[in-house]
C-alpha cells in the first residue's frame, strides 16, 4: 500500500461519468505525473485526492487513515487528520489578494496548526528564499508575476509540512521561463522525500522528473509506467496519439 491510495473511485457530473472505477496508489517519496487529453478527469481525480471534491463511490485512504470507504466519507475529525497530510498547489494560484506574501504563507500554519508565529515567519522567509523570492515578504499578490505567484503557492504548501503535495497544472498559465523556474523547484523537492502527484501537460518534465506516469483516458487509468515505458515501450494506440499531438 502506498502513502495515498484510491480504489474503484467513480465520479459523475450530472449524466457525464468523469471517473470510472479508478484505482491508483502514490508510493512514499514518489513523484507521479497524471497526463491525458483535456476533460478526461485528471483535475477531478486530483481534487478528490485533495478532499476538495467528493467521490460518488470507492475508497480514498492516506497511509492507513480512510477519508472515504465504500463511498461513505469519514467525520470531521478524521477528514481534518487526512487534510493535515496534504498540500495543494492550484493552477489559478488561489492567493488571498488582501494579504501579503508572507501572510499568505504563514497564516494557516499559525492559525490551523497553532505553531509559533515568529518561528513560522522565519520558516516562511526561508522558503521564499528557496523558491527564489528572498526579500519579497511584504509584497502583495498583485505586484507579482504569474511565475512568482506560483512560487509563493509552493512555499505556502511547504510551510504546512505536508507528506503529500498535489499540483494541478502548476505551469498552465505561465510563460516559458516561469514554467522552467517552477518545474525546477518541483524537481528539487524530490530530495526532500515528499510524495507528489502532478497533473501536467509538460511531457518532457513528466518523462524526466516523474517516477511513474499515469495516462487517463475514458475516465480510467488507461496506461501507467515509468517514463521509459510510457514514451518508448507502450503499445497503447491512445497514448501514442496523445503524445504525438493527435486526438486519442
Contacts of 10 (CB under 8 A, 6+ apart): 17, 19, 20, 21, 22, 55, 56, 57, 58
Number of separate helices (H) and strands (E) present in the chain: 9, 11
- Stretch 23-39: mean pLDDT, rounded? 94
User: What's the confidence (pLDDT) of residue 35?
Assistant: 95
* Cα(44)–Cα(86) distance, integer angstroms: 16
* Cα(129)–Cα(75) distance, integer angstroms: 38
User: What's the confidence (pLDDT) of residue 175?
Assistant: 87
Task: Answer positive or negative: Cα dihedral of 72, 74, 75, 76.
Answer: negative
Lookup: cell for 102: 508572507
Lookup: cell for 88: 495543494
- Per-residue pLDDT of 188-226, as tens digits, reads 888 888 999 999 998 988 998 899 999 999 999 999 999
* Cα(199)–Cα(36) distance, integer angstroms: 9
User: What's the confidence (pLDDT) of residue 94?
Assistant: 85
Helices (H), the chain: 42-49, 76-83, 101-111, 117-130, 146-159, 176-189, 203-209, 227-228, 237-243
Whole-angstrom CA distances from 150 to 64, 131, 168, 201 are: 31, 10, 11, 16
* Cα(223)–Cα(203) distance, integer angstroms: 15
- Stretch 165-172: mean pLDDT, rounded? 90
- Stretch 149-169: mean pLDDT, rounded? 93
Whether the per-residue pLDDT at 19 is higher than 90: the answer is yes
User: What's the confidence (pLDDT) of residue 247?
Assistant: 52
Delimit the domains of the chain by residue range.
93-161
- Per-residue pLDDT of 71-113, as tens digits, reads 899 999 999 999 989 999 988 888 999 999 999 999 999 988 8
**% of the chain at pLDDT higher than 70:** 99
Task: Work out the mean pLDDT of the chain and round it to a whole number.
Answer: 92
Contacts of 245 (CB under 8 A, 6+ apart): none
Lookup: cell for 96: 488571498
- Stretch 26-52: mean pLDDT, rounded? 94
Whether the per-residue pLDDT at 248 is higher than 70: the answer is no
User: What's the confidence (pLDDT) of residue 90?
Assistant: 86
Could you tell me how far CA 136 lies from the centroid of its own chain? 24
Amino acid at each position: 500500500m502506498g502513502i495515498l491510495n484510491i480504489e474503484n473511485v467513480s465520479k459523475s457530473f450530472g449524466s457525464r461519468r468523469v471517473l470510472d472505477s479508478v484505482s491508483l496508489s502514490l508510493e512514499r517519496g514518489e513523484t507521479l505525473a497524471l497526463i491525458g487529453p483535456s476533460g478526461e478527469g485528471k483535475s477531478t481525480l486530483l481534487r478528490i485526492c485533495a478532499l476538495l471534491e467528493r467521490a460518488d463511490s470507492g475508497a480514498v485512504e492516506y497511509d492507513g487513515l480512510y477519508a472515504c470507504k465504500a463511498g461513505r466519507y469519514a467525520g470531521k475529525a478524521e477528514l481534518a487528520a487526512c487534510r493535515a497530510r496534504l498540500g495543494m498547489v492550484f493552477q489559478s494560484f488561489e492567493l488571498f489578494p488582501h494579504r501579503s506574501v508572507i501572510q499568505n504563507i504563514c497564516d494557516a500554519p499559525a492559525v490551523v496548526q497553532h505553531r509559533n508565529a515568529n518561528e513560522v515567519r522565519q520558516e516562511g522567509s526561508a522558503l521564499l528564499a528557496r523558491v527564489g523570492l528572498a526579500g519579497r515578504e511584504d509584497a502583495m499578490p498583485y505586484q507579482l508575476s504569474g511565475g512568482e505567484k506560483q512560487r509563493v503557492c509552493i512555499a505556502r504548501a511547504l510551510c504546512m509540512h505536508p507528506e503529500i503535495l498535489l499540483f494541478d497544472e502548476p505551469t498552465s498559465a505561465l510563460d516559458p521561463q516561469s514554467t522552467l523556474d517552477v518545474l525546477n523547484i518541483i524537481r528539487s523537492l524530490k530530495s526532500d522525500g515528499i510524495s507528489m502527484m502532478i497533473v501536467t501537460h509538460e511531457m518532457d518534465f513528466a518523462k524526466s522528473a516523474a517516477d511513474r506516469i499515469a495516462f487517463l483516458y475514458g475516465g480510467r487509468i488507461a496506461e501507467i509506467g515509468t517514463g521509459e515505458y510510457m514514451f518508448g515501450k507502450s503499445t497503447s494506440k491512445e497514448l501514442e496519439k496523445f503524445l504525438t499531438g493527435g486526438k486519442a
